[in-house]
Chain A
Amino acid sequence: MRIGIVCPYSWDVPGGVQFHIRDLAQHLIRLGHEVSVLAPSDDETPLPPYVVSAGRAVPVPYNGSVARLNFGFLSAARVRRWVHDGRFDVLHIHEPATPSLALLTCWAAQGPIVATFHTSNPRSRAMIAAYPILQPALEKISARIAVSEYARRTLVEHLGGDAVVIPNGVDVDFFAGAEPKAEWQGGTIGFIGRIDEPRKGLPVLMKALPRILEERPGTRLLVAGRGDEKEAVESLPVRMRGQVEFLGMISDEDKARMLRSVDLYVAPNTGGESFGIILVEAMSSGAPVLASDLDAFAQVLDGGEAGELFANEDADALADAAVQLLGDPERREQLRAYGSRHVRRFDWSTVGADVLAVYETVADGAASVAPDERIGLRARLGFARD
């Protein structure tokens, strides 16, 4: 199958959607499909052979933060050329409801189009205003995929219609086969995420930490992620600061080794999550998971069967649950066993088969993807001579 995938965000900026697209593309290529990914990128950035640059993304303030977007005449021309040259059987765009390359592609192409909705953002004012403009472009999407039941619900509420749920994929065996690192073992708690992003929840964990350290002395917290390390430990009593180890940004290999080593992985995120890939990675590595009870997390953890949940933003509840888990190796072993069985549904072999099933459902018998030839004004009015 010839598959064209559109990445809405800059290829050179790390992010969940980009990683998902990279893994999906590589998985499909391994299965023998022809894949081309169109992504915003500086023309100088080295790209994998399957990625085509759509030009540099321009930073624009949008919806309360700075979004890097592609729009305008040049981007549209590049999109049309890519669609035309690719002769794809199916086009897979990501995040089409944001003003991005995905929306631009949706507007410029016709044929079988599959769209994945990743985020479950509350409806923005701009979206409401743009709805009549968005609608005709979104109508071209033949199949919608939501990454979780939660994301599907937001999608149905905001845009109407329906979507199938296909979770994000993880290479389970990569995480399950990683070698634990001795210095990260022995009474350790793991946290991965941006330190200076409050929604990732490190402050909640820091608030709970003194109680955990009092009741389980010798416990260490390993923190992997970008941000100001000094500021992060400011709320801790000085004598406890030594128990927190910052690993900075770590590679995928080290991430897997860290998750293999820790006794407990804590995900105290306070909101803004529509899936929770990190929980799946932790479970794949066999790390027992303790997470805040966000809708998306509860779903990934099978309602609390595959990992424990605590009341969101409640540091005391987090401390209670962590202390109990750290003192109960049997329960941790139980979570490990359940988790490693449960994550199989998130493995690329399963997720990739589902995505391909969607491609085949929409592409069967349909014409292939082509640029949407906009009918000129004269043709519309019947004046065109051809």
Chain B
Amino acid sequence: MPDLTTWILIAVAVLLIGVYLSWTAGRLDRLHARIDAAKAALDAQLLRRASIAQELATAGLLDPAASIVLYQAAHDARQAEEDQREVAESELSQALRAVFDESAQVDAVRAAPGGEDAAVELAGAVRRVPMARRFHNDAVRAARALRRHRTVRWLRLAGYAPFPLAFEMDDEPPPALADRGNGAPQ
């Protein structure tokens, strides 16, 4: 029969383990909340980019071929199912790069009535998408690192939250829009 000191030590150890587990579960919970917020922000930025692209495509500022390419890509990006989204958004990035390959095209858009605002909005959108995506994937990485811990896996501290996945896409902005060395207003 163990004496009283041993019982106290065991009780303290159990208490400490309990606090540690509860604290770790709290950490995970916060990380999942962060992923949700980052995911919503990324979603908002992607939608913004697609709407501006679609607006530009239908505004008659671009030549017909460019308009069709851009419209199709923007439309597909907005309509894409969740598992097709990374591909569709990457294709929109490629379409934007193809259409705004030269700064002359950007200048032409700017020169049109109301085009200045559209160009600024598009430049902002193509800049913010990579930002939001990095923040999202950074949160995903932190959560995955914690979820890989043995304690978390064995005791199922993550509950039923799905294993977080990074959002992988080509988000390279068109150089003519991203170049900030030419005094382009942002």
Q: Which chain B residue lies CB-closest to A152?
A: B134
Kindly state whether residue A142 has any CB partner on chain B within 8 Å: yes
Kindly state whether residue A84 has any CB partner on chain B within 8 Å: no
Kindly state whether residue B152 has any CB partner on chain A within 8 Å: no
Q: A365: which B residues are within 8 A, CB to CB?
A: 37, 40-41
Within A323-379, which residues are at the interface with B (CB < 8 Å)? 341-342, 344-345, 349-350, 353-354, 357-358, 361-362, 364-366, 375, 377
Q: A353: which B residues are within 8 A, CB to CB?
A: 186
Number of A positions contacting B (CB below 8 A): 32
Kindly state whether residue A140 has any CB partner on chain B within 8 Å: yes
Kindly state whether residue A164 has any CB partner on chain B within 8 Å: yes
Kindly state whether residue B99 has any CB partner on chain A within 8 Å: no
Please report the C-alpha to C-alpha distance between residue A381 and residue B23 in the assembled complex, in whole angstroms: 11
B141 touches A161 (CB 8 A): yes
Kindly state whether residue B30 has any CB partner on chain A within 8 Å: yes
Known pairs A139-B142, A161-B138 / 4 extra A-B pairs, C-beta < 8 Å: A136-B27, A139-B31, A164-B131, A164-B134
A142 contact from B22, B34, B124, Cβ within 8 A: B34
Within B107-154, which residues are at the interface with A (CB < 8 Å)? 124, 127-128, 130-132, 134-135, 137-139, 141-142, 145-146
Within B27-71, which residues are at the interface with A (CB < 8 Å)? 27, 30-31, 34, 37-38, 40-41, 44-45
User: Given A142-B37, A350-B186, is A381 in contact with B138 using a C-beta cutoff of 8 Å?
Assistant: no
B37 touches A366 (CB 8 A): yes
A345 contact from B15, B124, B134, B180, Cβ within 8 A: B180
Subset of 7 A-B contacts with CB under 8 Å: A143-B131, A160-B141, A163-B138, A341-B181, A357-B131, A375-B26, A381-B22
Interface size, B (range):
35 or more
Q: Which chain A residue lies CB-closest to B133?
A: A162
A162 contact from B19, B23, B41, B141, Cβ within 8 A: B141
CB distance from A371 to the nearest CB of B (A): 14
Please report the C-alpha to C-alpha distance between residue A112 and residue B132 in the assembled complex, in whole angstroms: 13
Kindly state whether residue B18 has any CB partner on chain A within 8 Å: yes
A354 touches B127 (CB 8 A): yes
Kindly state whether residue B183 has any CB partner on chain A within 8 Å: yes
Within A159-180, which residues are at the interface with B (CB < 8 Å)? 160-164
CB distance from A160 to the nearest CB of B (A): 6
Q: A161: which B residues are within 8 A, CB to CB?
A: 138, 141-142
Q: A160: which B residues are within 8 A, CB to CB?
A: 141-142, 145
Q: A362: which B residues are within 8 A, CB to CB?
A: 37-38, 41, 135
Please report the C-alpha to C-alpha distance between residue A279 and residue B77 in the assembled complex, in whole angstroms: 42
Please report the C-alpha to C-alpha distance between residue A362 and residue B37 in the assembled complex, in whole angstroms: 8
Q: A358: which B residues are within 8 A, CB to CB?
A: 131
CB distance from B16 to the nearest CB of A (A): 10
B186 touches A349 (CB 8 A): yes
Interface string of A209-232 (1 = CB under 8 A from B): 000000000000000000000000
Kindly state whether residue A385 has any CB partner on chain B within 8 Å: no
Q: Which chain B residue lies CB-closest to A140?
A: B30
A361 contact from B41, B137, B138, B182, Cβ within 8 A: B41
B138 contact from A110, A136, A162, A354, Cβ within 8 A: A162
Kindly state whether residue A239 has any CB partner on chain B within 8 Å: no
Q: B41: which A residues are within 8 A, CB to CB?
A: 361-362, 364-365
Kindly state whether residue A30 has any CB partner on chain B within 8 Å: no
A341 contact from B23, B130, B183, Cβ within 8 A: B183
Please report the C-alpha to C-alpha distance between residue A344 and residue B179 in the assembled complex, in whole angstroms: 10
Kindly state whether residue A94 has any CB partner on chain B within 8 Å: no
B130 touches A164 (CB 8 A): yes
Q: Which chain B residue lies CB-closest to A302?
A: B181
A139 contact from B30, B128, B131, B182, Cβ within 8 A: B30
B38 contact from A142, A164, A354, A357, Cβ within 8 A: A142
Please report the C-alpha to C-alpha distance between residue A350 and residue B185 in the assembled complex, in whole angstroms: 8
Q: A345: which B residues are within 8 A, CB to CB?
A: 180-181
User: Given A142-B139, A380-B19, is A361 in contact with B131 using a C-beta cutoff of 8 Å?
Assistant: yes
User: Given A344-B181, A344-B183, A366-B37, is A361 in contact with B132 using a C-beta cutoff of 8 Å?
Assistant: yes
Interface string of A129-155 (1 = CB under 8 A from B): 000000010011011100000000000
Q: B31: which A residues are within 8 A, CB to CB?
A: 139
Q: Which chain A residue lies CB-closest to B24?
A: A136
Q: B182: which A residues are within 8 A, CB to CB?
A: 341, 344
User: Given A162-B137, A344-B183, is A357 in contact with B26 using a C-beta cutoff of 8 Å?
Assistant: no
Please report the C-alpha to C-alpha distance between residue A162 and residue B26 in the assembled complex, in whole angstroms: 23
Q: A366: which B residues are within 8 A, CB to CB?
A: 37
A344 touches B132 (CB 8 A): no
Please report the C-alpha to C-alpha distance between residue A210 and residue B128 in the assembled complex, in whole angstroms: 51
CB distance from A338 to the nearest CB of B (A): 9
Please report the C-alpha to C-alpha distance between residue A377 and residue B16 in the assembled complex, in whole angstroms: 10
